[in-house]
Amino acid sequence: MTGASGLVGKELTSILKAERNEVIPLVRNRNQKGIFWDPENNEIDLSSMEGSNAVVHLAGESIAAKRWTESFKDKIMQSRVRGTSLLAEGLKKLKSPPKKFLSASAVGYYADAGNQKILESSPPDDSFLSRVCVAWENAAYLASPIVPVTTCRIGVVLSKNGGALEKMLTPFRLGLGGKMGDGQQYMPWIDLNDLCRAFAFLINQPKAEGAFNLTAPEPVTQEEFSKSLSKILNRPNFVHTPKWLLKATLGEMAEELLLKSMRAYPDQLLKRGFKFEYDELEKSLRHWIN
């Protein structure tokens, strides 16, 4: 069962159905087929969740939809904490609870670590996204006395059908690609296919509890990413957007989404034997572009 959110939810649903799983979506319209829930009004149809094998929660307000005002930041926080808490508390009330609760989180959990490798044990900081992720994960762990909980710290998802890569393609195709800031900040990425395969893998791992970095094993700097994308598109890569301009244009969002360095490594996922199909950046980019 999955709270299918956008691109990831659709792809994960396809993978789970291909493995002959029944997937029941969480829906906000009582007339739609699925399990009704309304986080804003603290409503959820618990009876329809009885006996499910796993619950996967992905929903949350897009963090890059617009400039971060205080009201929008509150919306980002509440969209994650309120819905996750509702699910977690609901799961504890079931007579036949699921074997596992997987909840999305993000690599924004971590402090800026420069070029140091970030493992699941690495600490958060007091930045906005870190506070969001900590609160998000704490909400998921409300279910842990009854249901095993897995929190999935997701990196930048690569797909031509949505997300960061789709937004980058137009300016890069126009020859406007280049580094942001000094370009040395690490960018933890993951191919959409590998991300959804990792979710399916964790559903079937009986003791895979706690935090997992869902990122490719070869993170790259932002400058390396822009060079690779320009190479594949056969376009120049010379536009440099300085830090001051990014901050002036996007404010706090630029500091946390574009300039923070997170060399995240999927240590726990690899230790459990997960095999990436797209472990190198160019392989993933060509998967979506060529």
How far is residue 227's CA from residue 222's CA, in Å, rounded to a whole number?
9
Q: For residues 195 and 158, what is the distance between their CA atoms, to the nearest angstrom?
A: 9
**60-90: per-residue pLDDT in tens?**
888 888 889 999 999 999 999 999 999 999 9
Instruction: Report the distance separating Cα 17 and Cα 207, nearest Å.
Output: 23
Dihedral angle computed from the Cα positions of residues 98, 75, 154 and 260, in that order, rounded to the nearest 10 degrees: -150
Q: What domains can you pick out in the chain, each with its CATH number?
A: 2-159+188-217+263-276 (3.40.50.720)
Q: What is the chain's mean pLDDT, rounded? A: 91
Q: How does DSSP classify residue 257? A: I
Q: What is the pLDDT of residues 91-103, one digit of tens each?
A: 999 999 999 999 9
Res. 226 pLDDT band, cuts 50 70 90: very high
Q: Is the pLDDT of residue 252 over 70?
A: yes
The pair of structure tokens assigned to 106 is: 């993000």
| Angle made by CA atoms 20, 23, 27, in degrees to the nearest 5 | 170
**How does residue 242 score in pLDDT terms, banded at 50, 70 and 90?**
confident
Length of the chain: 290
Report which of 198, 14, 213 is spatially closest to residue 113, judged by C-alpha positions.
213
Question: In which residue are the tokens 């319209």 written?
Answer: 29
Tokens of 78: 């509440």
Sheet holding 35-38, edge to edge: 26-27, 35-38, 43-44
Tokens of 64: 């890059």
Residues with Cβ within 8 Å of residue 27, at least 6 apart in sequence: 33, 34, 35, 36, 37
> With DSSP H G I counted as helix, E B as strand and the rest as coil, what are the percentages for the chain, rounded to 5?
45, 20, 40
Taking each helix axis from N to C terminus, what angle separates 281-289 and 222-233, rounded to the nearest 10 degrees? Answer: 40
